[in-house]
Amino acid sequence: MRPMNLLLGVAALALGFAAAQPARAEIKIGFQAPLTGFAATDGKSSKIAAEMAIDDINNAGGVLGQKLKLIVYDDQAKSDQAIFTANKLIGEDGVKFVVNGSYSASGRAAAPVFQKAHVVMISAYGVHPDITRAGDYIFRLVHLGPPQGRATALFIAKDLKLKTVSAITMDNDYGQATMEGFIEAAPKYGIKVLNKYSYSLKDRQFGSIVASVKRDNPDGIYATGYFFTAAPLVSQLRAAGIKAPIIGSQAFDSQKFIQIAGPAAEGVYIVDSMDRDRKDAALRKFFAEFTKRAGYPPESVAAECYSAVKLMADAIKRAGAADPAKVKDALAATKNFPMLEGTLIGFNKLHEIIKPISVNVIKDGKFKFFAKLDNLDAFAPPEK
Amino acid sequence: MYYVDLAVTGVTFGCMYAMMAVGLALVYGLLRILHIAHAAVFALGAFVTVVVANATGSLALGFLAAIVVAPLFGMAIYRLLYEPLLSYRPDVPMIASVGLLVLMQDAFRIVFGEQGVTFHNNVYAFMTFNLFGVTVNAVQIAIVVAAAVVFTGLHLFTTRTRIGVAWRATVSRPKIAASFGVDPIKVRYLNFALGSALAAIAGGLVGLLNNFVDPSIGYVVSYKALAIIVLGGLGSVRGTLIASLVLGLVESYGTIFIGQWLDRDAIAFLALIALLMIRPQGFTGTRTA
């Protein structure tokens, strides 16, 4: 026991010193991402993008004359790890600003912890509605499911001018919520939903849904899914000779989708997908630098994490001090902030983003910009 | 036409399940072990097929490699995992089997990457034929043909060859078979080799059909094939085939009625529960656990 006590004593002393050191030279930004476990692909992209943002800010002179320092923890996209690392960030690292570059399960668990400690948190791409409901220190940088679904109904009616749709959704929170938004808005735009089908995230064989869609004979097909379900689904729809346009949800936005679905991916529309064609110097630079660091082109999650760190730095600058209470007000007052994914108009009362939605179409194996939906009222986020 | 389309889909599902489940039924019949790690063999078959096919540019070599590697792996599972545990209660090797499956899923993730592997050159997944107005995919045809060949072959093997008869004898009356000079250990290895080879073929074909092999590809096998062998009357090859086809068709037609609320796994398990309440001994009913 003795050597153990001694060790503990030394450790406590070291901690005391660390805490007593004045940390004026740098502002710490906490960062949670799933670096291991099932979501590690997204976690890796998130971390690289966040580090790039920090480097870019520091190379441009930092914020308020101080350098930014990223403090990264692995949350495995799990609630328990998110809470554990949130407490570490608050207690050990004394962090006042956090970007949660992780899934809903993490953001949802961490948000109340940060709210209670009055730490400002931006969820870069967590889509669960509860995240922002944790309180006024919490912000979100992506559209919620139901607004995405409503925007899709608008797009299908106004841009594609389709009248009848077969709807296919994965049976998780995000898929169901997005589909609910779509089904609710569809009649407003004169779209008739012929049938709705649901599939499990583990499924890769969609034969019976495909046969039913064939019988529906719709003008268009709306589907929610991740690349690993979306690609087989789209392939199987096309293999059955169904030619109707396919409109996919945001989570289709992955290079892997195009790779797996091959020729079947051609002509698929993706709503709320990153506009990669914008003639924007920052976007070009981000693409080149990310590809160099990661060895593969960036996905949406990478762009979202990069933007989240940049936005946090911008808010600290506008607040004029690294004071969480002032920074949260500055964030809430954000107007027309240039993100990689387009201009962020601002946040609503619940700190949900107000931002136009881009639609991509896949052409010659690449994402191509197709339309911009800027009828913001049609997909206004919830206020509470 | 809709009902024919659904029937084609159902039969394809069924053939896929049958090839996965038969290895499981064989192992249960012989050793009374629920060989859950069979799903890992299936996934390994799929990964070997795609990786070798991509490296050599030959799909045939991919399948060949899978048919060689998977049986070796299957026999190794028997030798290293089950054999030392045979003297314990049957749930002990079963728990070991679950452990191996979990381990292998993460091993696949580490070795082959989180995002899974795609065939570089897979024309078959996108090749379709029009048979009397029904659109059928080339890989779907391959799955049905493979299942037909496998089950016919298995039938001939167990009824027409000496070693096949010896095998069957060992499964039904191990002691008497041994007294006739059949080596039960050899039969066990044969069992694992054969079941694993079939799972590997099924894995390769499913990978080809999806144009995608990911670490969770074996997930469906791990529980659905279990349901199938229970329904088929634990250990019976014929029962497994019937149960697979029934389950495939139930899933396929089930979407008409409840596809709006439930996905097809839920439909399958509802049907399974209903069937087991009516026939707890399974379809063939000759064998009970």
Residue of A213, A257, A258, A260 to mutate when probing chain B, most B C-beta within 10 A: A260
Rounded CA separation A178/A127 (Å):
10
H helical segments located in chain B: 2-31, 38-56, 59-77, 91-112, 138-160, 162-172, 174-179, 184-210, 219-220, 226-231, 237-258, 264-278
Give the neighbor-by-neighbor strand order of the sheet with A97-100.
Answer: A67-74, A26-33, A97-100, A120-123, A138-140
Q: Does A12 touch chain B (CB under 8 A)?
A: no
Contact A261/A254 with Cβ under 8 angstroms?
no
Lowest mean pLDDT among A233-247, B123-137, B144-158: B123-137
Contact B114 A40 (CB under 8 A): yes
Residue B238 lies in a domain: no
Rounded Cα gap, residues A164 and A19, in angstroms: 63
In chain A, which among 113-152 make CB contacts under 8 A with chain B? none
Say which of B126, B209, B252 has its CB closest to residue A208.
Answer: B252
Residue A104 burial (CB count, 10 A): 21
Helix axes A40-59, A300-319, angle to 10 degrees: 40
**What is the predicted pLDDT for the residue at B288?**
40
Q: Where are the alpha helices (DSSP H) in A92-226?
A: 104-116, 130-133, 145-158, 173-185, 207-216
Residue B66 resides in a domain: yes
pLDDT, tens digit, 9 for 90 and up, residues B179-234: 888 888 888 999 999 999 999 999 999 999 888 898 888 877 677 888 888 888 77
Task: Determine, for residues B265 and A239 on separate chains, whether the beta-carbon distance falls below 8 Å.
Answer: no
pLDDT (mean) for A280-294: 93
Q: What is the C-alpha to C-alpha distance for residues A175 and A149, in angstroms, rounded to an integer?
A: 9
Percent of chain B predicted with pLDDT > 70: 97
* pLDDT given at position B184: 84
Residue B39 is which amino acid?
Answer: A
pLDDT of A22: 46
Does B289 map to a domain? no
Check pLDDT > 60 for residue B156.
yes
Whole-angstrom Cα distance, residue A251 to residue A306?
Answer: 18
Instruction: With residue B128 as reference, give the H or E element that holds it.
Output: strand B128-131
Flag whether B241 is in a domain.
Answer: no
- Give the per-residue pLDDT at A16: 46
Contacts of A41 in chain B (CB under 8 A): 113-115
Please check the confidence at residue A23 and state whether its pLDDT lies above 50.
Answer: no
8-state DSSP, A33? E
Average confidence (pLDDT) over B33-60 = 94
DSSP character at residue A70: E
Angle between helices B38-56 and B59-77 (to 10 degrees): 150
Are A298 and A40 in contact by the 8 Å Cβ rule? The answer is no
Q: Is A282 helix (H, G, I), strand (E, B) or coil?
A: helix
Q: In whole angstroms, what is the distance from residue B137 CA to residue A240 CA? A: 8
Q: Cα separation of A329 and A351, whole Å?
A: 11
Q: Which residue has the higher pLDDT, B265 or B240?
A: B240
Return the exposure string of A13-36: e unless at least 16 CB atoms fall within 10 Å of the residue's CB, then b.
Answer: eeeeeeeeeeeeeebbbbbbbbbe
Q: Round to the nearest angstrom and report the end-to-end CA distance of chain B.
A: 41
Using 50, 70 and 90 to split pLDDT, how confident is the model at A45?
A: very high
CA A155 to chain centre: 21
Contact A67, A31 (CB under 8 A): no
Closest Cβ–Cβ partner in A40, A211, A235 for B2: A211
Task: Give me chain A's average pLDDT, please.
Answer: 90
Q: What is the pLDDT of residues B116-136, one digit of tens each?
A: 889 988 888 888 888 887 888
pLDDT attached to residue A5: 56
Q: Which domain holds residue B24?
A: 2-225
User: CA–CA separation, B226 vs A355, rounded Å?
Assistant: 49
Residue A297 dihedral angles phi and psi, to the nearest 5° = -70, 150
Candidate from B6, B116, B264 with C-beta closest to A203: B264
What's the rounded mean pLDDT across residues A277-289?
90
Strands in A246-248's sheet, in edge-to-edge order, are A192-199, A164-170, A220-223, A246-248, A269-271, A357-363, A366-373
CA A342/CA A6 separation, integer angstroms: 55
- Band (pLDDT 50/70/90 cuts) for residue A372 is very high
pLDDT at A80 > cutoff 50: yes
Handedness of CA A74, A75, A76, A77 (dihedral sign): negative
**Would you call B83 an interface residue with chain A, using a CB distance cutoff of 8 Å?**
no
A-chain CB neighbours of B109 within 8 Å are 38
Per the listing, tokens 């293999």 go with A239
Q: In the predicted model, is pLDDT for residue B89 greater than 50? A: yes
Closest CA to A165 of A186, A185, A145, A181: A186
- Say how many domains are in chain B: 1
A364 conformational bin, left if phi > 0, alpha if psi -120 to 50, beta if neither? left
* Chain A CB within 8 Å of residue B219 CB: yes
Nearest to A136 by CA among A340, A330, A266: A330
| Residue A3: per-residue pLDDT | 52
Most confident of A165-174, A328-337, B81-90, B156-165: A328-337
What is the β-pairing status of strands A342-344 and A192-199? unpaired
CA–CA separation, B45 and B59 (whole Å): 13
**SS3 of A361, please?**
strand
- Decide if pLDDT at A369 tops 60: yes
Band (A19; pLDDT cuts 50, 70, 90): very low
Is residue B246 a part of any domain in this protein?
no
**Average pLDDT score over residue span A297-318:** 94
Between positions 84 and 123 of B, the ones with CB within 8 A of A are 109, 113-116, 118, 122
Tally of CA atoms within 13 A in the half-sphere of B88 that contains its CB: 12
pLDDT value of position B259? 62
pTM for the full predicted model: 0.82
The pLDDT-based confidence of A17 (bands split at 50, 70, 90) is very low
> What is the model's pLDDT at position B200?
95
ipTM above 0.90, yes or no: no
**Whether the predicted pLDDT of B111 surpasses 80:** yes
pLDDT bracket for residue B177 (50, 70, 90): confident
Query: Does residue A38 belong to the interface with chain B, where contact is any CB pair within 8 Å?
Result: yes
Tokens of A253: 């936005």
User: Per mean pLDDT, which of A237-246, A324-333, B188-197, B245-254 is the most reliable?
Assistant: A324-333
Residue A316: is its pLDDT beyond 90?
Answer: yes
Looking at residue B287, its pLDDT comes to 44
Amino acid code (one letter) for B43:
A
| Residue B232 within a domain | no
* pLDDT value at residue A40: 82
Pairing outcome for strands A220-223 and A246-248: parallel
More confident of the two residues B26 and B73:
B73
- Rounded to whole angstroms, the Cα distance separating B83 from B33 reads 11
**Min CA distance, A178 vs chain B (Å)?**
16
Inter-chain touch A209–B220, beta carbons under 8 Å: no
pLDDT at A1: 43
Residue B251 covered by a domain: no
Residue B239 within a domain: no
At which residue do the structure tokens 């249960």 appear? B28
Given a cut of 70, whether residue B107 has pLDDT beyond it is yes
The C-alpha atoms of residue A322 and residue A339 are separated, in whole angstroms, by: 22
Mean pLDDT (whole number) for B279-286? 68
Cβ-defined contact of A211 to B135 (cutoff 8 Å):
no
Extract the tokens encoding B99: 């452990």
Count of CB atoms situated within 10 Å of the CB of B288: 10
**Residue-level pLDDT at A30:** 97
Q: Among A208, A215, A216, which would you mutate to test the B interface (most chain B Cβ atoms within 10 Å of its Cβ)? A: A208
- Tell me how crowded residue A4 is: count the other CB atoms within 10 A of its CB: 8
Task: Fill in the amino acid letter for B181.
Answer: G
Nearest in space to A147 (alpha carbons), one of A300, A368, A348, A367: A348
Contact (CB<8Å) A235/B220: no
